[in-house]
Amino acid sequence: MNLYLRYFDKETLVSNVDEAVEFLRSIPEIEMDEELEADVRNYATSEVYYPKRYKLRPRVYFIIIKTEAATMLDFKQKKALRPSDAPNTSVEPTPPTVARLNENRPGWYEGSLSFKRVVLIPSTGKHEYRDTFFVANCKANSGMDCYNRIVEHLRERVDPRSQFPSAKGKNFKFKYLGYWK
């Protein structure tokens, strides 16, 4: 595991922590104390792979990135990307929900929606928004059609000030149950 360090236009790729500390000490603007050195060493030995940013002054930082790259050129060309921990499968990934939303597939859908419902508080006579979760099975031609049918149904039954999420957001989910007969 190598370390890439950068402070403005000064950069280096080192193979161990001692070289990294020596590089940081060579920069006069960086006050290398025992605490900073210990933190750099902890980062280098940890299992964390995200870049580490150290604040020196307001809006002045240096960064350290762990990499498998053997040379600076490999690092710059991103040839040594760390392989993901997920197993490599040859099965096609499922398309994202947004892509499936308009897919024409008539049948039964289960749609779930989390929305802000306006309710009256009897003790004060005032209204407030409450998070409400609603699930329904409906006949529809697509995920978007399922969303529209659910929202249309709810608009007839709740306060008109209630707020409904976007069909493309995380607060609407749908599942195709099968073709209607």
Query: For 35-84, how does the pLDDT look when each residue is reduced to its tens digit (9 = 90+)?
Result: 888 998 898 888 888 888 888 888 888 899 988 888 888 888 876 665 55
Position 148 scores a pLDDT of 94
Strands 60-67, 2-7: pairing kind: antiparallel
Whole-angstrom distance between the N-terminal and C-terminal Cα of the chain?
60
Count Cα atoms within 13 angstroms, Cβ side, for 41.
10
Which pTM does this prediction carry?
Answer: 0.47
Considering only CA atoms, which of 19, 22, 13, 18 is closest in space to residue 70?
13
Q: Residue 134 above 90 pLDDT?
A: yes
Q: Residue 166 above 50 pLDDT?
A: yes
